[in-house]
């Protein structure tokens, strides 16, 4: 029996989750046993109406559990909204943030476990057990970290409010990962990195998803000293973020919203990145990547369905293994 290929992935929400589903599908189809550990961003987490909500953990969990809303990319399929309809007339809370009934059950269960004194990593494992996930799902940290947005006018709001309510339209001056300096990697995070054959960066938001994970003291160090090569998939295709509003985030850092721009920023800011998958449309960036010491590979990167996503994951793994 072959030892499974030990992969660590640093994931945000929708893009990361879809990539991971492709990765798992590729492993199954190709007959390659995988041992995947997902380190998920928890900087978007929030307490809303007393509930602890972890958008990225839930999106990964629902996607890999087969119960994601395909239309939205987040939240539960066949969702219902009795609670939200009843909540509205009370006129309290974040009225722009609609919680589905099925989703609320997840938040209630998580909050229950946390209130009983369990760390987020243990609560996440308990929730994930219900869905029999094909990966080990870890929060980046058990300590709360909250990404806040400072607008150009000085106003500060939770990232989710900026992202969901304003659709990232309000110009952001900077992002602040509140309390990230006091956070430690969750149990299992450093061990998984140290023992990995390959570390992958799915096409998640490089600033507020992957960037937040890398901001947890100890994680970037562990990645730099790990034996495994680190290969990323560009979240930018032809100068546009595949999904979401990554450009608005990159602008705050002065990073060009291009496939090469994001890769070179991982190099210069974090001293990370051995390989970088770009879309065929961005094949022109391969030379610039090569001269920066990043092994590039151009492939179709639109994750239109599970099969095409599996092919992207296969290419990322192939590139990574060639760099060992």
Question: Considering the complex, what minimum distance in angstroms separates the CB of residue 94 from a second copy?
Answer: 9
* Cα–Cα distance for residue pair 114/103, rounded to 1 Å: 17
Which window, 125-133, 179-187, 260-268, 311-319, contacts a second copy (CB under 8 A)?
125-133
Q: For 212, how many CA atoms within 13 A lie in the half-sphere containing its CB?
A: 34
The residue within the footprint of a second copy, chosen from 5, 51, 151, 311 (CB under 8 A), is 51
CB of 279 to a second copy, least distance (A): 38
Binding mask 4-23 for a second copy (x = CB under 8 A): --------------------
Pairing of strands 34-40, 146-151: unpaired
Size of the site for a second copy (CB under 8 A): 34
Question: What is the rounded CA–CA span in Å between residue 174 and residue 50?
Answer: 27
**What is the C-alpha to C-alpha distance for residues 135 and 6, in angstroms, rounded to an integer?**
11
Indicate the residue among 3 and 90 with the shorter CB distance to a second copy: 90
Nearest approach, Cβ of residue 79 and a second copy (Å): 9
| CA angle in degrees (0–180, nearest 5) for 259-261-263 | 75
Measured from the CB atom, the residue of 70 and 86 that comes closer to a second copy is 86
Cβ closest to a second copy, residue 87 vs residue 245 = 87
Q: CB 122 → a second copy: shortest distance, Å?
A: 11
Residues 285-324 that bind a second copy (CB under 8 A): none
CA-CA distance, 7 to 282, in Å (whole number)?
26
For residues 213 and 219, is the Cβ–Cβ distance under 8 A?
A: yes
CB of 128 to a second copy, least distance (A): 10
User: Which of 52, 141, 205, 309 forms a contact with a second copy (CB under 8 A)?
Assistant: 52
Number of neighbours of residue 86 by Cβ within 10 angstroms: 9
Q: Which is nearer to a second copy, 35 or 77 (CB)?
A: 77
Q: Which is nearer to a second copy, 84 or 283 (CB)?
A: 84
The correct pick among 29, 96, 130, 280 for binding a second copy (CB under 8 A) is 130
Q: What is the signed CA dihedral for 192, 56, 167, 276, rounded to 10 degrees? A: 30
**Which lies closer to a second copy via its Cβ, residue 130 or residue 167?**
130
Residue 125 vs 192, nearer CB to a second copy: 125
- The least CB distance from residue 48 to a second copy, in Å, is 8
Q: To which residue do tokens 């066949």 refer?
A: 78
177's CB contacts (< 8 A; 6+ apart) are 43, 145, 146, 147, 212, 215
Binding to a second copy (CB under 8 A): which residues in 64-123? 80, 82-87, 89-93, 101-102, 104-109, 111-115
Q: Does 127 bind a second copy (CB under 8 A)?
A: yes
CB of 86 to a second copy, least distance (A): 3
Q: Nearer to a second copy by C-beta: 84 or 321? A: 84
Residue whose CB is less far from a second copy, 165 or 269:
165
The token duo for 56 is 């990225």
**Residue 38 to residue 41: CA distance in whole angstroms:** 10
For residues 19 and 305, the answer to whether their CB atoms sit within 8 Å is no
Q: Helix (H) and strand (E) counts for the chain?
A: 13, 14
d(CA 299, CA 301): 6
Tell me the two tokens of residue 288: 């610039």
Binding site for a second copy (CB under 8 A): 47-52, 80, 82-87, 89-93, 101-102, 104-109, 111-115, 126-127, 130
């Amino acid at each position: 029996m072959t030892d499974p290929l030990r992969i660590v992935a640093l994931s945000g929400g929708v893009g990361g989750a879809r990539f991971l589903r492709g990765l798992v599908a590729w492993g199954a189809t190709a007959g390659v046993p995988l041992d995947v550990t997902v380190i998920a961003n928890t900087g978007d987490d929030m307490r809303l109406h007393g509930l602890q909500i972890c958008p990225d953990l839930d999106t990964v969990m629902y996607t890999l559990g087969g119960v994601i809303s395909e239309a939205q990319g987040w939240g539960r399929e066949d969702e219902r909204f009795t609670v939200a309809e009843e909540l509205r007339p009370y006129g309290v809370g974040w009225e722009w943030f609609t919680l589905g009934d099925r989703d609320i059950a997840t938040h209630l269960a998580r909050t229950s476990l946390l209130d009983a004194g369990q760390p987020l990593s243990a609560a996440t494992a308990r929730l994930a057990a219900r869905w029999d996930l094909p990966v080990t799902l870890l929060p980046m940290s058990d300590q709360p970290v909250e990404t806040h947005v400072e607008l150009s006018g000085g106003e500060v709001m939770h990232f989710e409010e900026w992202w969901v309510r304003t659709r990232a339209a309000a110009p952001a001056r900077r992002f602040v990962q509140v309390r990230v300096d006091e956070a430690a990697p969750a149990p299992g995070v450093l061990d998984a990195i140290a023992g990995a054959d390959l570390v992958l960066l799915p096409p998640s938001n490089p600033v507020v998803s992957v960037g937040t994970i890398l901001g947890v003291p100890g994680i970037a160090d562990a990645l730099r000293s790990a034996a495994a090569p680190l290969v990323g998939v560009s979240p930018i295709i032809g100068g546009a973020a595949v999904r979401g509003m990554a450009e608005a985030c990159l602008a705050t850092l002065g990073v060009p919203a291009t496939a090469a721009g994001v890769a070179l920023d991982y190099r210069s800011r974090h001293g990370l990145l051995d390989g970088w998958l770009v879309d065929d449309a961005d094949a022109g960036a391969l030379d610039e990547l090569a001269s920066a010491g990043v092994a590039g590979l151009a492939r179709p990167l639109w994750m239109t369905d599970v099969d095409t996503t599996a092919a992207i994951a296969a290419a990322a793994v192939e590139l990574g293994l060639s760099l060992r």
